[in-house]
Amino acid sequence: MATSRRSAALAGALIAALVAFAGCSKSGSDTPSTGTATGDPIIIGLDQDSTGPGASYSNISGKTIRLAIQDINDKGGVLGRPLQLVVGNDESDPTKSPAVVQKLVGQGAKLVLMQTGGAASAQAKPTLTQLGVPAIAPTSVTQTLVDAPNNEFIYMLANSTGDWAEVYCGAFQKANIKKIGVLTDDSSTIAAVNKSLFDAMPCVQVAATEKGATAASDLSAQVARLKDANVDAVMVTSLGGAFEVLAQNALASQLAAKPRFSLASIGNQPESWKLANAGALNGVVFMGSINNQNPRTQELTKFLKGKNGADYEVTAYDAQAWDTVHIVKLAIEKAGGADDSKKLNEAIQSISGYPASFGQASFTLSYSATKHLGADGLCGLSLIEFGADNKPKGPWATYQPPC
């Protein structure tokens, strides 16, 4: 009983800390100004989960989306016109996302940024098709989001879970891992990620799966059952935040000798690193996209540290948000404006070889009428390992994806 109370208290503290962090950049709190641009504004919609289960990553991206727009406006805007944000929040709830998108378009949005959970973005696809308004999901990774039906107006940047599966399989084979246990949260977004990811991974047997509530206060029982399954390694699949911290704390305590893998979430949430027990993240390998040898990553890092402070940790969520806004800018320029949604959609499809601010230096993004996932090859991915200080220490020495 005492242990349960301590776990509940810890969970409460973690959730409070992460919610406080999430609140730092809630929608509308730092709306970009028109800068030096003087024309009529081009309205961009932002569906940002600023308070729901996706807030731990959406607020990081949301803040950088605003900084990117402000930087563009300060430099004269797009075709002399400033970009203007209108913002909604669906809380990563698929039942709310169509109405949020409808409202943003009703406010004049010519394009929508779906900075929310993948399941919520997917539910908005028919609405986008009906309205004929293009949308980009900056941080989504589920391939089915850009698959038919109703995919004519939806786009992604980052490598999908299909690419992740290829990289994980290469890693598991190299490390002689044949049987894994999965510890997962109960969010609809991660349910979709799990299906997409594990369906594409015949290289490994998922011998045990344990699920906990996104707002769980204790995961020790789930970890104990994974221990009994005698797996070769454990993978945590979650939105990150308090759930991931609790999961890694419990795994470090009960299964310290087992290799641990995770999705991109924990690697891109610096505030979560601080909340883990000392050394609890040591050895965790996650799917990363930030490569500091990429000169565009270096340039973005300099910009963001100048805005957010020298100790700011740049994440893939930052880079993907930044690139999304600049892809929007490029598409508007190619279309000669944003008032014709058909031309704007076709302009996105004409973008080819865009040099990304994430991934390796050679990594690019391209689109077409039949290619709505921007990533060109596996060069956008790296496997990154945490060190004893609960911070990423660099590429995992055992395996890296071919590029």
> Which residue carries 């039942």 as its tokens?
95
Please check the confidence at residue 371 and state whether its pLDDT lies above 70: yes
Please check the confidence at residue 9 and state whether its pLDDT lies above 60: no
For residues 208 and 364, give the distance between their C-alpha atoms in angstroms, rounded to a whole number: 37
How far CA 294 is from CA of 2, 118, 212, 298, 391, in Å, comes to 49, 27, 37, 6, 20
> Which residue carries 């470090």 as its tokens?
252
Band (pLDDT 50/70/90 cuts) for residue 14 is: low
How do residues 306-356 score in pLDDT, each as one tens digit? Answer: 999 999 999 999 999 999 999 999 999 999 999 999 999 999 999 999 999
At residue 19, the pLDDT reads 43
Residues in the chain: 403
DSSP of 174-223, one letter per residue?
Answer: HTT--EEEEEEE--HHHHHHHHHHHHT-TTSEEEEEEEE-TT-S--HHHH
How do residues 234-251 score in pLDDT, each as one tens digit? Answer: 999 999 999 999 999 999
Please check the confidence at residue 3 and state whether its pLDDT lies above 60: no
Return the exposure string of 133-164: e unless at least 16 CB atoms fall within 10 Å of the residue's CB, then b: bbbbbbbbbbbebbeeeebebbbbbbbbbbbb
At residue 56, the pLDDT reads 84
At residue 24, the pLDDT reads 42
* Residue 83: count of CB within 10 angstroms of its CB: 27
Report the predicted TM-score, pTM, of the whole model to 2 decimal places: 0.83
Q: Do 214 and 49 meet the contact criterion of CB atoms below 8 Å apart?
A: no
Please check the confidence at residue 41 and state whether its pLDDT lies above 80: yes
Query: Average pLDDT of the chain?
Result: 92
Please check the confidence at residue 21 and state whether its pLDDT lies above 80: no
At residue 7, the pLDDT reads 47
How do residues 255-285 score in pLDDT, each as one tens digit? Answer: 999 999 999 999 999 999 999 999 999 999 9
Among 160-164, 219-223, 349-353, the minimum mean pLDDT is found in 160-164
